[in-house]
Amino acid sequence: MLIDFNNLNINKLSFHTEFEKKVENFLEEWVSDGEMVKVQTSGSTGVPKIFDIEKKKMINSAVMTCNFLGLKEGDKALLCLPVEYISGKMMIVRSMERNLKLIVTEPSLNPVGHLDEEIDFCAMTPLQVENSLDQLHLIKNLIIGGAAVSESLKNKIRHIDLKSSNCIFETYGMSETLSHIGLKQLMPESEDYFTVFENVSISLDERGCLTLFAPNVNDEVLKTNDLVEIKNDKQFKFLGRIDNVINSGGAKIFPEALETLVKKEIPNEAIFVGLPDESLGQKLVLIVEGKESDGLIRAISQITFEKKFHKPKEIIFINTIPRTPNGKVNRIELYKMISENI
């Protein structure tokens, strides 16, 4: 269905599918007298939570994104993310704020498979992008969020024949920042650092983790568990989550950095975990999604790791790595799955 926010009359819209009715419920909640809306977290780093967010803060967030991307009245956007989460809700709010024409599509692995026309804006998860490569040339501005963009996916994106006007970004943010507060360009240029929006301040805490102050979207100073390298007052590089750090024989290992290295050499999802070990405390184990093969084993064995202790002590192949409903790898569930079968 298509919602034209330049000429919106909710009562004249026809919501048929279960997903469309969820969109209708959010629109009704938005136009109600209440100043807050409810948002659910993904639960990728803990128990899912539901909390209230001020509508005016969501509008501020929408303005920052729309201004950065140069979206204007009448542009077409595509909603293909669950509206229970901030990612889907913000696509609707951005469309309302900038009077866009919003195409509402059931979230799926290939949400743009039906597209036969160009659109100006879309947000997708990495898994959706992976399954939509043939259609990306139809999207003028694509933002990818919900999980880190793997090196293998970045490489596939680089080999797509895109127009010079096509821009693809990786996002940085969380529910508490009302979706993203910074973007990193993947195409046409490949950037290493995220650039935060105007009025967003960044610093490091005593752990080396990112601290954010974005008063337009959250009145509180937010202390994250993300280990980063700060380049200047507007740019930072993500290194990994401190709660994912593996301590093996006294050495601290950032699994996300190793996963980036491995995914440059193999197309499979690959996750490092630390499993209990009597001598090391934690032993470094590589979990690979898919069927074991001589080719994969050979490719992994030929990877040059910076440190000797970065080489996995064991490689485990599993059919499917568990994910949250919005596509993020569920490391907590993965750890439970692997440790229970040791």
Same domain, 34 and 167: yes
Residues 6+ apart with CB under 8 A from 225: 45, 209, 241, 242, 243
pLDDT, mean of residues 202-207: 95
**What's the confidence (pLDDT) of residue 47?**
61
Q: Do 43 and 157 fall within a single domain?
A: yes
pLDDT tens digit sequence for 92-115: 999 999 999 999 999 999 999 888
pLDDT value at residue 295: 94
**Cα 247 → chain centroid:** 26
State the chain's mean pLDDT as an integer. Answer: 90
pLDDT in tens, 265-307: 998 999 999 999 888 999 999 999 999 999 999 999 999 998 9
Asked if 98 and 38 sit in the same domain, the reply is yes
Q: Mean of the pLDDT values across residues 151-160?
A: 87
Residue 339's pLDDT band, with cuts at 50, 70 and 90, is confident
CB burial readout 224-254, b (16+ within 10 A) else e:
bebbbeeeeebbbebbbbbebbbebeeeebb
Tell whether 41 is covered by a domain: yes
**Does residue 310 form part of some domain?**
yes
Percent of the chain with pLDDT over 70: 97
Please tell me whether residues 164 and 272 are part of one structural domain: no
User: Is residue 61 a part of any domain in this protein?
Assistant: yes
In the chain, how many domains are there? 2
CATH number for the domain that contains residue 54: 3.40.50.12780
List the one residue out of 283, 287, 275 whose CA is nearest residue 339: 275
The stretch 128-152 carries a mean pLDDT of 91
In a domain, 173, yes or no: yes
Confidence check: pLDDT of 61 > 70: yes
Q: What is the mean pLDDT of residues 135-157?
A: 90
Pairing of strands 221-232, 235-241: antiparallel
Averaged pLDDT for residues 58-63? 95
| pLDDT of 38 | 85
pLDDT of residue 148: 81
The 10s digit of each residue's pLDDT in 226-246 is 999 999 999 999 988 898 899
User: Are residues 130 and 66 part of one domain?
Assistant: yes
Shared-domain flag, residues 55 and 150: yes
pLDDT attached to residue 46: 53
Give the number of other Cβ atoms within 10 Å of residue 73's Cβ: 10
What is the CB-side half-sphere exposure of residue 316 using CA atoms within 13 A? 21
pLDDT higher than 70, residue 326: no
Work out the angle between the directed axes of helices 86-97 and 18-31 (0-180°, nearest 10): 60
| Residue 157: C-alpha distances to residues 58, 168, 239, 288 (Å) | 30, 9, 22, 22
Per residue in 15-49, pLDDT (tens digit) is: 889 999 999 999 999 999 999 998 876 655 556 67
The band of 131, judged by pLDDT with boundaries at 50, 70 and 90, is: very high
Write the CATH number for 315: 3.30.300.30
Q: What is the pLDDT of residue 48?
A: 65
User: Cα dihedral sign for 287, 289, 295, 299?
Assistant: negative
Which tens digit of pLDDT belongs to each residue from 180-197?
A: 999 999 999 999 999 999
C-alpha 170/C-alpha 172 separation (Å) is 7
Q: List the domain range (segments joined by +) for residue 92.
A: 2-198
Higher pLDDT, 129 or 149: 129
